[in-house]
Chain A
Amino acid sequence: MIKLYYRIGLMRDKDILKNNLDKFNGIIIDAHVFETFKNSLSAFIASLPPSHTFLIDPVTYRFSIPEITLHYSKKPWFAKLLERYNLPISEEDPYLNPLSLSDSDIKDITDGVIKYQKKIVPANIQNALGLAAFFEHPIGTPSTTPEYIIPPYLIIDDSELAPYSEYLKFNIKAIKHANSLLKNSPHKILSIIPISKPLLLDEVVISKIIDEYTKVKTDAFGIWISGLNEITEARLLTILVAILHKLKESTKKPIINLYGGFFSLILSSLNLLDGVAHGIGYAESRNAYELPGPLGPRYYNPITHNFETIEGILTIYMNDPSVKCKCPYCKKYDLKNFENIANNLNDLLNHFIYTRTAEKEKLEKISSINDIISLLENDKNKIINILTKRKTPPLFTALLKKIYEPKYAHLESWILILKNLPPATKKIIH
């Protein structure tokens, strides 16, 4: 079974998820979001059924990238997490630099980060359980502890501050210390492998990084290639596949892609991943060096497995009304008033959740990689046929295909990657 985790970045997300409990397995909350909306999020976690898990991402990398750290330093959560995580940050040393952190610093930080997830968050949720009953939340016997505890981590990169090896050392030491802290406890550890995209091109470095992670004791891995977008940088996905293959083969541990989309779902159906996390209509990729900005309304196109502008989807649906999404949320709008879906965020987001679940269920039923390839080929041909449906001279049809290539190029790349997978990876095990 493919595990689907939704990241909660906005307060509206929890309200949408409350009505879609059968469509996900767990939630991931960034620590700074939890700190900001502690009561409300604790009550939400307390209202989840026991089958649903949660994780707190400690987002420690946010304290190690100078521009990002500076940007967030005025936020109320910054000082709170700084204290809770025992971070040696001051006016003189305004951000974490792995070169200047001693082993004792790393231990202190790990102590703080583990304690936060193990005790502070559960204590808040425990309190919220009482509140939840008071506010009539349907309560099962929710878990007050995270599915996994995540040791502190920094983005592994050759930065201006330090070489990649120093970030790697920090992460590995933190995982080792987390292991000693949680030795006799029931808590499980999820070790995050956060690699900056440019490093992907260095095969030797990637091999060293993965080798280090395969040696650590952990219950699961979380993979994050910072800045890698499954749609626009599909050619780099081959390297991601190779990383997952190596990790899976050597450790047999569950792996969750912390920011993934439809291609990650495919990788899950191939047993290279065990879970995929993303937000509701956002965060299918994340660049640690960029500040997340506001997003306008985007419609998830079930044919291309990508987001469209409202005029983009209207052009597609009006060109061929038979392909209009048949989910209960899209059904509310006929084509003449379909643009209004952009004014109803709830419908837009529910459509995304519904479609994502349908995609997941479809992949779970597929038993051969050739069927996945056929599915992608059908989708690619479908979108090309829709956009070139009008009778035009051959030169114009060729031009249309070229102009609209960005709408389907990722499908072609995904097909190519799947066709070239090593034979051992081609097994589908659900």
Chain B
Amino acid sequence: MKRFKEPNLYPLISKYFQNKDFYTLTNFRPFEKSYSRVDILAVDKTLSKIISVEVKLNNFSKALKQAIARSFFSDYVYLAFPSKYAKTVLNKYSQILNCTNIGILSINKYVSELKPPGPSPLLIPDLKNLILTTIKRKVSITDKCG
């Protein structure tokens, strides 16, 4: 496994959510003119539940900042790290993870959930619905293109 670039980890995470019957979008722009991109966005087949995943090799504080920005429009948010760092984060920042409801995914040869996320406390339903329309468009294109 190529371990040293974040995008190399995306397929493993996408596969993890696809196996759970989710559509996945990588490098997802919430809006057409967005500067930022969600590393991986998973949406259930009824297109009603949004899960955002931010992938990082390290740098918890940067990852946390991005995860919180996603919490405004996502039902659930995960941070995904290589397994060793993921365990460090879980031990060191458990209080922050608990109060923010952010989940942790650990990546090695496969993906495992170290901490399940709770519902986003920041969710703005109208913002989520707005982003769901972009997601629906993208998913339908992805479906048509196979």
Contact = CB atoms under 8 A, between A and B. Distances in A.
Interface of A: 296-297, 309-311, 314-315, 318-319, 335-336, 339, 342-343, 390-393, 395-396, 399-400, 403
Contacts of A339: 31-33, 130
B99 A395 contact: yes
19 contacts: A309-B35, A311-B34, A311-B36, A314-B130, A315-B72, A315-B127, A318-B124, A318-B130, A336-B130, A339-B32, A342-B33, A390-B123, A392-B100, A393-B99, A395-B95, A399-B64, A399-B68, A399-B99, A400-B68
Contacts of A311: 30-31, 34-36, 69
Contacts of A400: 68
Contacts of A309: 34-36
A319 B100 contact: no
A302 to B, nearest CB: 20
Nearest to B125: A318
Q: Chain B contact residues (Cβ within 8 angstroms of A): what range?
A: 20 to 34
Interface of B: 30-36, 64-65, 68-69, 72, 95-96, 99-100, 121-124, 126-127, 129-130
Given A314-B127, A396-B121, 11 more contacts: A296-B33, A310-B31, A314-B31, A315-B124, A315-B127, A318-B72, A336-B129, A339-B31, A342-B33, A390-B123, A403-B68
Contacts, number: 66
A342 B31 contact: yes
B12 to A, nearest CB: 27
A88 B64 CA distance: 55
Centre residue among A296, A318, A336 by max chain B CB count within 10 A: A318
A335 B124 CA distance: 12
A336 B127 CA distance: 8
B96 A399 contact: yes
The interface centre, meaning the residue of B35, B64, B95 with most chain A CB atoms within 10 A of its CB, is B35
Contacts of A395: 95-96, 99
